Amino acid sequence: MAISSAEAASGTRLTIRLPDDFHHHCRDGAKTAAVLHHAVQRFGYCLMMPNLQPPVTTTEMALNYKSHIMASMPEGSFPYFKPVMTLYLTDKTTPDEIKKASSSGVVGCKFYPAGATTNSALGVTDIKNCYPALQEMSDQNMMLCIHSEVTHADIFDREPVFIEEIMTPLVTDFPNLRISMEHISTKEAVDFVLSSPDNVKASITCHHLLYNRNHMLVGGIRPHLYCLPILKAEIHRLALVKAATSGSKKFFLGTDSAPHSTDMKEAFCGCAGIFTAHAAVELYAEVFDKVGALDKLEAFCSSNGADHYGLERNTATITLEKKSWRVPRTFDFGDGKGVTPLRAGEEIKWSIAAQE
């Protein structure tokens, strides 16, 4: 779906295929409706993360969660929004559960190394424990979605160590397993994905494209920029920008929008997660515009991910315009406390003009 010549020449307005988000935290209870208010305006497919409390470990739980999401949709017509469900992989996930999930429309399983991130205590302790389930996933053509960090290394080195210790043998042992390395954050991950077979691809967040660790730490700690994987040095941010805007089919949009109430972020031990659902597509547009790659935005946002997941591309469109708007300092989070969004109180250079 091409940008018109007039729009491309002006660089102020473009219409692209409706984007997808292949990494989204929709939360549970009353919070789900608050999160969906933002997501439905920007995305077609939305891959729902299963690290709830309790985690979504069975097909029945995944289908119940999907029903909850659909029942929480905001008023108004958003016919293009489609929640895509995953299971939370554990040491005890069985091949039979994988078969059941696949036949029920669950597209994949999320591999959280135990203790690596929010609500991951019940995650995988040893990838070898999951090999029977992974073989069944490969046979069923399901996706393995990976939080690619170990827990025993320095926090800034956890992704490269994971690639060396787990990813490399995993790709060798399961040559036909479709893999999504989620929210990659290092040059090493970019290089690994580019050198891997076509079944291995990666999502990239807008916050890892926009910010490095200095933004989070210099001049005082900014808790609303604390996420896992943690923001890295500038050399890694630049490698991610180069990969995302290159036109390579190996990389696609995955926001990892992970809202927590403001008091949980601004606490003595603040939790990890950045809320970007309110402006994700607009922020990606900023990144691509800055490096003169708006013509590559649609593939990254709207085609590469759907192709990797084996889903039909959206037929609806979204129109963006280079028109600044100021982000509110807080949004409703369905819990009476509110959530602080990325760029709270600041301007974003692109905005959404229409979805149709």
Segment 63-78, tens digit of pLDDT? 999 999 999 998 876 7
- What pLDDT score was predicted for residue 336? 85
Q: How confident is the model at residue 8 (pLDDT cuts 50, 70, 90)?
A: very low
What is the enclosing helix (H) or strand (E) of 282? helix 280-290
Cis peptide before 328 (omega within 30 of 0): no
Q: Which of 42, 35, 21, 25 is nearest to 335 (CA)?
A: 35
pLDDT tens-digit readout, 207-262: 999 999 999 999 999 999 999 999 999 999 999 999 999 999 999 999 999 999 99
For residue 97, is it within any domain? yes
pLDDT tens-digit readout, 34-61: 999 999 999 999 999 999 999 999 999 9
Active site members: 256
Region 337-342: what's the mean pLDDT?
96
What is the enclosing helix (H) or strand (E) of 321? strand 317-321
CB contact at 8 A, 255 and 24: yes
Count the Cβ atoms, other than its own, within 10 Å of residue 140. Answer: 15
Region 138-162: what's the mean pLDDT?
97
Quick check: 133 pLDDT over 90?
yes
- What pLDDT score was predicted for residue 224? 98
Backbone angles phi and psi of 166, in degrees to 5: -120, -50
For residue 279, is it within any domain? yes
Q: How confident is the model at residue 9 (pLDDT cuts 50, 70, 90)?
A: very low
SS3 state of residue 326 = strand
Q: How far apart are CA 126 and CA 123, in angstroms?
A: 9
For residue 287, is it within any domain? yes
Quick check: 3 pLDDT over 60?
no
What is the enclosing helix (H) or strand (E) of 25? none
Percent of the chain with pLDDT over 70: 97
Q: How far apart are CA 83 and CA 97, in angstroms?
A: 20
CB contact at 8 A, 208 and 186: no
Burial class (CB in 10 A: 0-12, 13-18, 19+), 126: exposed
Quick check: 6 pLDDT over 70?
no
Region 131-145: what's the mean pLDDT?
98
Residue 352 CA, chain-centre distance (Å), reads: 20
- What pLDDT score was predicted for residue 79? 85
pLDDT tens-digit readout, 253-292: 999 999 999 999 999 999 999 999 999 999 999 999 999 9
- What pLDDT score was predicted for residue 116? 84
Count the Cβ atoms, other than its own, within 10 Å of residue 317. Answer: 16
Quick check: 174 pLDDT over 70?
yes
Q: Which domain holds residue 104?
A: 15-316
Q: Which of 59, 155, 145, 81 is nearest to 115 (CA)?
A: 155
For residue 255, is it within any domain? yes
Count the Cβ atoms, other than its own, within 10 Å of residue 68. Answer: 16
For residue 334, is it within any domain? no
The CATH number assigned to the domain holding 36 equals: 3.20.20.140
List the structure tokens of 134: 């992974």
Residue type for position 308: H
Which residue(s) pair with 204 in the sheet?
253
Greater pLDDT, 9 or 349: 349
CB contact at 8 A, 195 and 175: no
Cβ partners under 8 Å of residue 242, min gap 6: 190
Q: How far apart are CA 223 and CA 265, in angstroms?
A: 6
| Mean pLDDT for the chain overall | 95
CB contact at 8 A, 87 and 97: yes
Quick check: 299 pLDDT over 70?
yes
Q: How far apart are CA 50 and CA 56, in angstroms?
A: 5
Number of domains in the chain: 1
